[in-house]
Structure 1
């Protein structure tokens, strides 16, 4: 299916996990010497190549879709996050030739109720900064993304997808555990039909759906890859304390594992493999 094609997943660390899952699902069938991995643009672009098929599966880091001061993969934990909601070309020029594009952008927007928005450039001293409601700034970023797609995408060639919200499981009281509990030590899914925790923001989902519907009126098809509800149930699917720690764990944290449990990302193999099964099904029938 990917012979002679380039598939690019664009977005945040959730999309990177989906990319890792996808590469793992295919590379085990490819002999050594007929595959390669390459890190480019200081790690912002990761390239997997299956040489026999001339097939490429890439990940491009663009956690807020548009340009921000958090785009450096080695230094993206800035506390004062700023987005340029009208600027996307810095990122988009690296995936403009893709045959399949899979976007996501969600978790980084959740960290605050308002976003610092910049009109102008980070290099200029005369830019205009304004704090804007998070949902509104998210809609503005989606508008910039939509406009770029309408102008630059080859409609006879490129297949477009947007992955819906990846739920978090930070509050155990929402599934009947204590107020100080999160996904740490959880071993079973949630069985309540239709469960939705506070780690999901329906307004953001509706904003994406509205952007996709609006693109449809312009003759551009974007398929929503809806992974939210099936992932909502999987509170036990996060790495919790069993993940690589980029910053050493303090003694206080070690005494309270829930304090450093990762209930945002996912174990691999795990839930993102199912996301890719859905992507595969859509590609078969696109």
Structure 2
């Protein structure tokens, strides 16, 4: 993908060692508690937002940079997530996070929505560490779909690995693409990580393979919900087999909603996210997309794992942000509207404030 600063490709890995005690102490100092649900609340206007200027961040791909692509309104940048009492969120402190992660590697593994969160976090940290802090970056291209940014003064490395399915997508000897529902050989790249953030769902609705293989069974296609379930179970087995005895912290990005149907928030039929400039004002009246099977499957699979995995439950808060998508400001040449991806700066910054909160409270949860 095109970027404001073109960077070469590289591959790295991620894991957070010994952060449990430090995270608990940091959480206590920050005055946060792991006993409340920070994912329930509302969006409030905060004139101190956004947390950074996307124009000064070299890590935002053109497709996510709505300001660069001519979005004229700025209200969507001014909203902060406010959890319901008794919950409260500490303000994001990039230097504190870098200090907690000193010498560590943090990896994001998944699709472009995971990349949305990754690039947002890079900008948030970059803004906090700009004064005198050196960075060394390389970006995905060609056959190396991974990106790496290292904050040299702290020895902190953040990596993004493109993995649409979290299980292996390979080419056989005949050149056919095979989605293997029971293998995670690509996970070898992730084993040295101190923190891992995973996410997958959108690509399961697409057929980007010639065949699906489940054990010895090979078919051209199958029910996608069933396929996703099998794939996620294979991922869970891989995590338990490889990370159970490690100090690696594991997170899973929850379902990120799209806003293609304006009737969900009371708009006339045919309306999409395109002209929206404010969040949903009445959460109780928002019909949403109904229960999505991904959420139920993810919760069930995570509950059955031996390795603790923290769910970044971003669904509800994101459902309210019909105004936060890249829409027609994604830098494309066509008239298409993107109601799936999010502007950076924007909604993913609040995902990362909750991620930051989760890191602080990880020792207590």
Instruction: Please tell me the TM-score bracket, short chain as reference.
Output: 0.7 to 0.9
What is the number of residues matched between the two proteins? 254
Structure 1 residues 263, 82: CA separation in 2 closer, same or farther (over 3 Å shift)? farther
Partner of 2:248: 158
User: Could you say what secondary structure the match of 2:338 adopts?
Assistant: coil
311, 320, 326: which is aligned to 1:233? Answer: 320
Aligned partners of 2:265 and 2:287 also within 8 Å = no
SS at match of 1:242: coil
Does residue 131 in structure 1 map to residue 217 in structure 2? no
Kindly state the Cα deviation for residue 202 of structure 1 after the two structures are TM-superposed: 2.4
Look up the match of 1:10: 109
CA deviation vs aligned residue, 1:132-154 (integer Å, no higher than 9, x gap): 21111111001110111111115
- Gaps of at least 5 residues in structure 1 are 71-79, 121-125, 254-259
Q: How does 1:195-234 map onto structure 2 within 5 Å?
A: 195-198=286-289, 202-215=292-305, 218=306, 220-234=307-321
Q: Could you say if the C-alpha distance between residues 157 and 106 of structure 1 is closer, same or farther in structure 2, counting changes exceeding 3 Å? A: same
Contact kept, 8 Å, 2:211 with 2:218, in 1: the verdict is: no
Contact kept? 1:30, 1:50, Cα under 8 Å: no
1:25 — aligned with what? Answer: 124
Deviation at 1:83, TM superposition (A): 2.3
Question: Residue 169 in 1 paired to residue 264 in 2?
Answer: no
Q: Please state if 1:283 is matched with 2:362.
A: no
Counterpart for residue 196 of structure 2 = 101
**Offset from partner CA, 1:57-94 (integer Å, 9 cap, x none):** 11110011112369xxxxxxxxx9852111211x2111
Q: What are the equivalent positions in structure 2 for 1:28-39 lying under 5 Å apart?
A: 28=127, 29-31=129-131, 34-39=134-139
Tell me how far apart the structure 2 counterparts of residues 111 and 168 of structure 1 sit (CA, whole Å).
16
CA distance in 2: counterparts of 1:183 and 1:203, whole angstroms: 23
RCO higher in 1 or 2 (8 Å CA, sep ≥ 6)? 2
CA distance in 1, matches of 2:239, 2:248: 10
Gaps of at least 5 residues in structure 2 are: 1-99
* CA distance in 2 between partners of 1:270 and 1:242 (Å): 13
Aligned alpha-carbon RMSD (Å) = 2.4
The TM-score, its normalising length taken from structure 1, stands at 0.82
Going from structure 1 to structure 2, the CA distance change for 1:17 and 1:175 (only over 3 Å counts) comes to: same
Partner Cα distance (2:317, 2:119) in 1: 20
